[in-house]
């Protein structure tokens, strides 16, 4: 059987995007990854700051953003504009031929407005389809950089969790590629004590995750992140790792590997 080509898919978020030095360090390491690669980014903290400046209340529920019409305008401006193009420009300066995208571009990611929940999340999208043919064509020539915006195919943009977008792309592309999926943020990985980097969990399976969840050790934004990690593993993604912005350095040993068993 012919071996599938390796595809690296990386999500960057958290405080790294806000820290110009940490972001540059990460992008230098990312640009050096050999073979086809895809970058997905959030930007929620910058969006929240912009909302505050504009007098718009930021609403969250269990680590997920509630997106009003006003909030969607800000998010689209920050995610698909400033943050996306800053990252693309930096990657170009490092010799990585990046192209900035939302899910609407090339019809790459379609979603529908979330309904049927007790909480009205507003203009939040749940993913229906990832266009693997178009993404496969892109990675032959460019490094796609996706922001956390999708569309419904009817002209409506939707705010979609960047971790979920990353997992969905990874799962879809695993049909034709050996996908290595990485979530990079400001912590060393999954921590038993969020303020103590020495409490790093090196390996996390479903049973241990449920145990930590029941104990309240894992909460807020880490919950949807890990849910996406386990879903990706279950659906054929080869490897899933959570770690810091220095994850791709040869000397890096601090990260959490997600395993099914």
Q: Taking the CA atoms of 147, 16, 181 and 64 in sequence, report the sign of the dihedral they define.
A: negative
pLDDT computed for residue 61 by the predictor: 78
pLDDT value for 1:
61
pLDDT score at 223 = 86
- For each successive 10 residues of the chain (261 residues), what is the average pLDDT? 90 88 94 97 88 87 84 95 96 98 98 90 96 98 97 98 95 97 92 91 94 89 88 95 89 87 77
**How high is the pLDDT of residue 94?**
98
Query: What CATH class has 6-258?
Result: alpha beta
- CB–CB of 42/13 below 8 Å? yes
The backbone torsions φ and ψ at residue 252, rounded to the nearest 5 degrees and listed phi first, read -70, 125
Q: Which SS3 state, helix, strand or coil, does residue 238 take?
A: coil
Q: Where are the domains of the chain?
A: 6-258
d(CA 107, CA 98) in angstroms, rounded, equals 18
Tokens 């996908």 belong to: 179
Number of separate helices (H) and strands (E) present in the chain: 9, 14
- Tell me the C-alpha distance between 216 and 194, whole Å: 12
């Amino acid at each position: 059987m012919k071996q599938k080509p390796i595809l690296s898919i990386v999500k960057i978020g958290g405080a790294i995007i806000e820290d110009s030095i940490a972001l540059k360090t990460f992008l230098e390491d990312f640009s050096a990854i050999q073979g086809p690669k895809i970058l997905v980014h959030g930007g929620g903290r910058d969006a929240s700051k912009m909302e505050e400046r504009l007098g718009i209340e930021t609403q969250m529920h269990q680590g997920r953003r509630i997106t009003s019409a006003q909030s969607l305008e800000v998010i689209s401006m920050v995610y698909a504009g400033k943050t996306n193009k800053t990252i693309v420009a930096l990657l170009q300066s490092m010799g990585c031929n990046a192209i900035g995208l939302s899910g609407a571009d090339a019809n790459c990611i379609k979603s529908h407005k979330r309904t049927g929940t007790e909480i009205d999340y507003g203009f939040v999208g749940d993913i229906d389809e990832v266009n693997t043919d178009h993404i496969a064509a892109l990675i032959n020539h460019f490094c796609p950089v996706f922001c956390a915006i999708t569309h419904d195919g009817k002209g409506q943009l939707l705010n979609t969790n960047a971790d979920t977008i990353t997992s969905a792309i990874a799962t879809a592309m695993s049909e034709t590629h050996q996908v290595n999926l990485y979530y990079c943020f400001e912590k060393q990985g999954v921590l038993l004590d969020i303020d103590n980097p020495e409490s790093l969990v090196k390996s996390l399976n479903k049973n241990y995750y449920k145990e930590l969840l029941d104990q309240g050790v894992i909460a807020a934004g880490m919950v949807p992140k890990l849910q996406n990690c386990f879903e990706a593993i279950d659906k054929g993604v080869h490897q899933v790792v959570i770690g810091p912005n220095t994850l791709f350095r040869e000397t890096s040993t601090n990260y959490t590997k997600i395993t099914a068993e």
